């Protein structure tokens, strides 16, 4: 079912060999400059959720209201990319001065159910340190930080999650699981 059609820039992409003239391209959101406007065409396929991409940049456009140049995405979009190699979910156990300890679950290896214990420096928290409290949930990602120049370094991110409240469905499912667990206990 089509909800809308996507407008894609005509795919003037290079062939797997063809070397194009330098373009101001970024994988996220980069505009075309005025001298390099794409020939837009409507593609009526039903992948209208996809991120449209063309040789000159990844762009999102609406069929209803094609955007003027000034509304397109910024060249100041994040230029750095951080790609994870391994990721853990952590639960804060204790906070001691500028350190905190946490139980960690390895998310990269689904077979590894073992809890690991880690100690971290509060200064290493990548987002809002005020989210740190006992029981708080965070993610640690180890991966490559990649600069726009292409240079990369191993790095890590500690991000405390801004978790939504439990939904009714989640609460119901938890109650159901708890009831099943209780019923499965065989009393002597």
Partner 1 sequence: MRYIPASSSCAIVMIGDFTPSLYTPAWLALNDLIEVGESESANIENISKQAAVFSLSWANFAIYDDRFQILSNIAPWVRLQDLTVKLFGEITPHQPVKAIGINRLVHYKLGNFAERDKLGEILAPREPWGDWGNQLKNTADEINSGLVSIAMKQGTNLSDRKHGHIEVRVEPSAMYQNDGVFVTVNDHYQLSDNDPSKENGSNAAELIAKQFELSITRSESLIDNIMSLTKP
Residues near partner 1 (CB under 8 A) are 1, 3-4, 11, 13-20, 22-23, 25-29, 46-51, 53-58, 60, 62, 64-65, 67, 70-74, 76-78, 80-84, 87, 127-128, 139, 141, 143-144, 146, 150, 152, 157, 159, 161-165, 167, 169-170
* 66/64 Cα distance (integer angstroms): 6
Q: Give min distance, CB of 186 to partner 1, in A.
A: 32
Q: Which is nearer to partner 1, 1 or 42 (CB)?
A: 1
Q: Give min distance, CB of 43 to partner 1, in A.
A: 11
Q: How far apart are the first and last CA of the chain?
A: 57
* φ, ψ of residue 93 in degrees (nearest 5): -95, -45
Could you give the 3-state DSSP secondary structure of residue 65? coil
* φ, ψ of residue 43 in degrees (nearest 5): -105, 120
Q: Give min distance, CB of 159 to partner 1, in A.
A: 6
Q: Which is nearer to partner 1, 86 or 184 (CB)?
A: 86
* 32/14 Cα distance (integer angstroms): 16
Q: Which is nearer to partner 1, 43 or 95 (CB)?
A: 43
* 169/173 Cα distance (integer angstroms): 6
């Amino acid at each position: 079912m089509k909800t809308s059609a996507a407008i894609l820039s005509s795919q003037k992409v290079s062939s797997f060999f063809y070397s194009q003239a330098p373009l101001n391209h970024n994988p996220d959101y980069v505009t075309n400059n005025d001298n390099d406007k794409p020939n837009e065409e409507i593609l009526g396929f039903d992948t209208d959720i996809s991120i449209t991409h063309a040789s000159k940049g990844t762009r999102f456009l609406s069929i209803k209201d094609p955007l003027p140049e000034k509304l397109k995405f910024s060249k100041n979009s994040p230029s750095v990319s951080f790609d994870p190699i391994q990721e853990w979910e952590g639960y804060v156990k204790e906070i001691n001065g500028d350190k905190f300890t946490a139980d960690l679950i390895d998310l990269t290896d689904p077979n590894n159910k073992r809890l690991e214990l880690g100690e971290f420096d509060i200064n290493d928290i990548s987002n809002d340190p005020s989210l740190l409290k006992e029981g708080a949930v965070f993610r640690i990602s180890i991966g490559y930080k990649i600069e726009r120049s292409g240079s990369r370094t191993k790095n890590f991110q500690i991000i405390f999650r801004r978790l939504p409240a439990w939904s009714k469905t989640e609460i119901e499912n938890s109650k159901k699981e708890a009831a099943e667990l209780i019923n499965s206990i065989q009393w002597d």
